Amino acid sequence: LFLSLKLGNKTEGKHQKQICQIVLDHFEKQYTTELGDTWTRIRDVLMHPWCWQYAILLNKFSQSAELESALRVKGYHPAFQESLPYLPSSFRCYIRRTHGRFPAQKHQAGKLKEYFLLNAASLLPVLALEVKDGEDVLDLCAAPGGKSVAVLQCAYPGQFHLNESDVLRSRWLKQTIESFIPYPFINLIMFSTLDGRQIGDLKPELYDKVLVDAPCSNDRSWLFSSDIQQATLRLRQRKELSSLQFQLLRSAIRALRPGGSLVYSTCTLSKAENSDVINLILNSFTNVTPVDISGMAKAVSWEFAFLGGMQQHELLVLPEYGRAWGPMYIAKLKKMKT
């Protein structure tokens, strides 16, 4: 999730975007029911972009010792510790407790970017996927490309298939990859604009790992919908998203090799788009089993706040002051060998 909202003047009340009341009212009703008092704390963070934080994912293909030194001087520290079940040495990400944003890098022809600014919670699905060198990997809904870039910081897949059904977003995805990945490796990446719901039938049992970072009701950006009509339409269509998410997951399961695993993620707090979708999948497929990712949550609990009472195969990152990451839902499933 690339957070493009500009901080502007970092004092409360002076950020450039206005809260969309229709969306806020909708969230208020739904999330008070689903999350109780916890929603009040989350709402305060989501409504105040001045307190949002940005992680800095370093690009291993464009290493800079000076950059790491500069980050440490500015109070940044590594976001992920060795206690994580899966943390490749090439994967380096820096965060700090205070809000504010490191300057973004502009694209320069012929020069790779040194880092990617993003929501640190969006890296958790990639770490949960545990990609190893030589594995065939599908990123089913890949734009804008932050998670794809992160996968390539972890390992060198055998085949890396990046799919994005929206043609404009696919173009954006390709530009992002070209800004971070050198040419010999880009040639190993396959780009497509297929309907993600059909990939399982077109490419059955072809991948060891599949990432489904599904289209969802993006709580952060929806709150700042400047167009009332667009906001109203989004809220009307929200009920249909869980059906789309289920179909994408069904397709991903078909595309997985027996023994392969998938990670499902969204950037919404909505139970209908998170646990409900995963429970429906587990009830619909006898050859799919949940994978325990609670160890990952324990390893990063100092830097991330999680919703309690979740099942072992799922996590929900909750934004709070000083740890303004998420919302990010993550679930991991495995396709059993018959």
- Give the C-alpha separation, 254 to 257, whole Å: 8
Residue 95: is its pLDDT beyond 90?
yes
303 touches 318 (CB < 8 A): no
| For the chain, the helix, strand and coil percentages under 3-state DSSP, each to the nearest 5 | 40, 20, 40
Give the separation between CA 76 and CA 56, rounded to whole angstroms.
9
Catalytic residue (choose from 51, 154, 216, 267): 267
Cβ partners under 8 Å of residue 263, min gap 6: 125, 126, 128, 129, 209, 210, 211, 212, 330, 331, 332, 333
* Residue for token pair 């709150």: 223
For residue 15, pLDDT over 80 is answered with: no
Report the interhelical angle of 21-35 vs 228-255 (nearest 10°): 50
Of the candidates 205, 177, 180, 202, the residue with the CA atom closest to the CA atom of residue 191: 177
**For domain 21-50+119-335, is the CATH number 3.40.50.150?**
yes
40-44, 95-99, 201-205, 320-324: least confident range? 95-99
3-state secondary structure of 234: helix
Among the residue ranges 29-38, 164-173, 182-191, the one predicted with the least confidence is 182-191
Q: How far apart are CA 156 and CA 181, in angstroms?
A: 11
Structure tokens at 90: 């090439």
pLDDT of residue 307: 97
Annotated binding-site ranges for S-adenosyl-L-methionine: 141-147, 164, 195, 213
pLDDT 10s digits, 140-163 = 999 999 999 999 999 999 999 999
pLDDT in tens, 274-322: 999 999 999 999 999 999 999 999 999 999 999 999 999 999 999 999 9
Q: Which two tokens stand for residue 334?
A: 């495995």
Spatial separation of the C-alpha atoms in residues 151 and 177, rounded to whole Å: 11
Rounded CA-CA distance 152/143 in Å is 15
Please report the sign of the dihedral spanned by the C-alpha atoms of residue 265, residue 269, residue 271, residue 273. Answer: negative
CA distance 282 to 311: 13
pLDDT band at 16, cuts 50/70/90? low
Q: Using CA atoms, how far apart are residues 302 and 297, in angstroms rounded to an integer? A: 9
Q: How far apart are CA 242 and CA 203, in angstroms?
A: 23
On the CB side of 247, CA atoms within 13 Å amount to: 11
Residue 32 has pLDDT above 60, yes or no: yes
Give me the sign of the Cα torsion angle 62, 65, 66, 68: positive
Average pLDDT over residues 159-183: 95
- Cα 15 from chain centroid (whole Å): 24
**Distance between CA atoms of residues 167 and 149, nearest Å:** 19
Amino acid at 265: S
Q: Residues at the annotated binding site? A: 141-147, 164, 195, 213
**Strand partners for 54:** none
Question: Is residue 140 within 8 Å of residue 252, measured between CB atoms?
Answer: yes
- Sequence-ordered strand ranges (E) for 119-205: 137-139, 160-163, 189-192
Residue 8: predicted pLDDT? 36
Check if 20 is active-site. Answer: no
Sheet of strand 77-78: strand arrangement: 77-78, 93-95, 55-58, 115-118
